Amino acid sequence: MSKPNPFEIAQKQLDDCAKILNLDAGVHEFLRHPKIEYHLSIPVRMDDGSTKIFQGYRVQYNDALGPCKGGIRYHPDETIDTVRALSAWMTWKTSLLGLPLGGGKGGVICNPKEMSMGELERLCRGYIDKIWQNIGPDKDVPAPDVYTTPQMMAWMMDEYSKLTGSNNFGCITGKPLCVGGSCGRSDATARGGMYALREAARELNIDLSKATFAIQGYGNAGSFAHSLAKELFGGKVVAISDSKGGAFNAKGIDADEAARIKAETSTVANIPGAKKISNEELLELDVDILVAAALENVITKDNAGRVKAKIIVELANGPTTPEADEILFQNKVHVIPDFLANAGGVTVSYFEMVQNIMRYCWSFDEVYAKLDERMTMAYQGVLAASKKYNVNMRQAAYTVAVSRVVDAMKTRGWV
């Protein structure tokens, strides 16, 4: 069975929003497609002396509210439609959080797990060599995403600076602290999601100190969500998983042990004393909070009816299909949609841009306080829209975000 097309899903979500807002047909059609997209062929010298050509993309979806912003993914299954969808969701995400930014996204078809550090550096620099004239602090600011790291962002920033002839730390975010990164960026996606979860739990009268958590996806967002569930709430994480499988222990799984086992064995499935489970089984566990932090389209019409969690926190982009959304809404599962739940990353990236421009650094406490304020305000705005229109939280988030982009387009005279 073929996987759902992520861009078709993004368009379907926008179509639903257009009906709620009664958007003009021309405005609606404009928003259904990227403003600009670039297709790149990137030659890279490999360690064995051969030259390999990597295919890459950069999509600048909409910049009505400001310069585009969005990560770069390195993944063997990357597609242009995935990048289009992610750039659309980033457009709504920056709007929803009230950031003066538009939406963009990038990707390269590669398997970074099979590449050396030297090959990865040459690929990063090669990507910037192809796209540097079309990005920058006033145009489009990339950041890390799936299988890209702060070190890779540093290489990209350095290459951009060389090509432009000056140190330009603000051209890329998600960098190490020593080259213009921001305090709090590493755990920002997960922390922002936990702030949104706190607000949802208050609304639903769920005591997070007694709640059980299951986390699908144990990359940056998922692993930080694990530690923050304990640190912020005292909650108990009973199940975690990565691409190679998962582990379940009703007594709870320690975050430090999980990190150690993953480092030693390359998967969390080998945690001692835990039962091995599949990613599919994890989604259907009887837990209070399900954190979806893996990839797209994991909750579908086929399994949504078996989800038992009270709240789903979508730290991944697009983990739930539109058909699944309807089922979850009917079953009173409260979904914190991706472009709200995982907006902490782009929010702190925006803070990083501001600090780079100011040549001034904020402390961890300052960053966390500003992030909390933004996430709380955004969540409450979405909740209010959900009640106003009697729609699910994703549709509500769309109404808030799309309305702001449309207002900017009309004010600028685009439509």
Active-site position among 35, 69, 93, 105: 105
What SS3 class is residue 258? Answer: helix
What are the C-alpha distances in Å from 2 to residues 5, 11, 242, 297, 325?
Answer: 9, 18, 22, 11, 20
Alpha carbons 405 and 415: distance in angstroms, whole number: 11
Alpha carbons 7 and 197: distance in angstroms, whole number: 27
* DSSP secondary structure letters along 123-155: HHHHHHHHHGGG-BTTTEEEEE-TT--HHHHHH
Within 10 angstroms of residue 140's Cβ, the number of other Cβ atoms is 26
Using a 10 angstrom Cβ sphere, with 0-12 exposed, 13-18 middle and 19 or more buried, the burial of residue 232 is middle
Is 251 in the active site? no
Contacts of 365 (CB under 8 A, 6+ apart): none
Alpha carbons 230 and 236: distance in angstroms, whole number: 7
Contacts of 73 (CB under 8 A, 6+ apart): 82, 83, 86, 105, 106, 107, 108, 145, 146, 147, 148
- Give the residue among 332, 275, 342 at the shortest CA–CA distance from 309: 332
As beta bridge partners, residue 147 has none
Q: What positions carry a catalytic annotation?
A: 105
